């Protein structure tokens, strides 16, 4: 069974079409990398797959469950890392992770494990508002994988991270995690290296869909012209 199957997906904001005619299939364990300029519909696609937005047309199946009818069966199996960290600024890193652990029925030991994994144990008792953007992003990565999701939805996951921090989070959200992943990216080199399948969006419509082995940087560059 495919991890993702999308057929004719459309999503509007008022009269504006954010997505139209998106069709794709992604097998379990594969990585889909989505390229396209700002406003192309990349984040909207992630939010539909995360059950945060309802499609206006088409069919969407995530981990064998149809959306939006079976959204309840999907939410606990998906990890989302978006532009917003989905964390409370007045709480500490540890408090944020413990809050999400309780939502998912995860033991506190997992919180300690992940704080250590992202090198935030020493700063874990400080309010998020006092931390740098890079540190907050590391905590957001820990939150996204806290419940050991089968599917990761990652919107520019390396934003605000320096090379050392990227190396830290790679075992959690990189190819070594062995999870099914959908990654939105503007980085042709890094994105292609991660991808099994490439989707290119332009103005909400698919302009490119192919195995990564058949895509080169010039095709990705064309999406931004």
Its domain, for residue 210, covers 4-86+149-223
Q: What is the pLDDT of residue 37?
A: 96
* 136 occurs within a structural domain: no
Say which residue the tokens 């989707």 belong to: 199
* 78 occurs within a structural domain: yes
CATH number, domain containing residue 214 = 3.40.50.300
* 196 occurs within a structural domain: yes
Count of domains observed in the chain: 1
Exposed e or buried b per residue across 89-123, where buried means at least 16 C-beta atoms within 10 angstroms of its C-beta: eeebbbbbbbebbeeeebeeebbeebbebbebeeb
* 107 occurs within a structural domain: no
Q: What is the pLDDT of residue 1?
A: 78
- Give phi and psi for 85, each to the nearest 5: -75, -10
Name the pairing type of β-strands 78-81 and 151-155. Answer: parallel
Half-sphere exposure of 176 (CA within 13 A, CB side): 7
Q: What is the pLDDT of residue 66?
A: 96
Helix (H, G, I), strand (E, B) or coil at 190: helix
Contact 169, 120 (CB under 8 A): no
Mean pLDDT for back-to-back runs of 10 residues, the chain (225 residues): 95 94 97 96 97 96 96 96 93 97 95 97 97 97 97 96 96 94 95 96 97 96 94
* 116 occurs within a structural domain: no
């Amino acid at each position: 069974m495919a991890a993702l199957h999308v057929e004719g997906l459309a999503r509007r904001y008022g009269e504006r079409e954010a997505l139209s005619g998106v069709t794709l299939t992604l097998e379990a364990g594969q990585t889909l990398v989505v390229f396209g300029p700002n406003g192309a519909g990349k984040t909207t696609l992630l939010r539909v797959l995360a059950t945060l937005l309802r499609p206006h047309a088409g069919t969407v199946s995530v981990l064998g469950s149809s959306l939006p009818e079976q959204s309840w069966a999907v939410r606990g199996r998906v990890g989302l890392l978006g532009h917003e960290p989905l964390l409370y600024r007045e709480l500490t890193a540890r408090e944020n992770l413990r809050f999400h652990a309780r939502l998912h029925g995860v033991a506190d030991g997992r919180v300690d494990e992940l704080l250590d994994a992202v090198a935030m144990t020493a700063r874990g008792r400080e309010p998020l508002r006092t931390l740098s953007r890079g540190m907050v992003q590391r905590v957001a990565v820990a939150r996204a994988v806290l419940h050991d999701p089968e599917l990761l939805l990652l919107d520019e996951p390396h934003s605000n991270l320096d090379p050392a921090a990227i190396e830290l989070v790679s075992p959690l959200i990189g190819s070594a995690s062995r999870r099914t992943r959908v990654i939105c990216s503007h980085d042709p080199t890094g994105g292609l290296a991660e991808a099994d399948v490439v989707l290119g969006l332009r103005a909400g419509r698919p302009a490119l869909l192919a195995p990564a082995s058949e895509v080169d940087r010039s095709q990705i560059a064309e999406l931004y012209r």
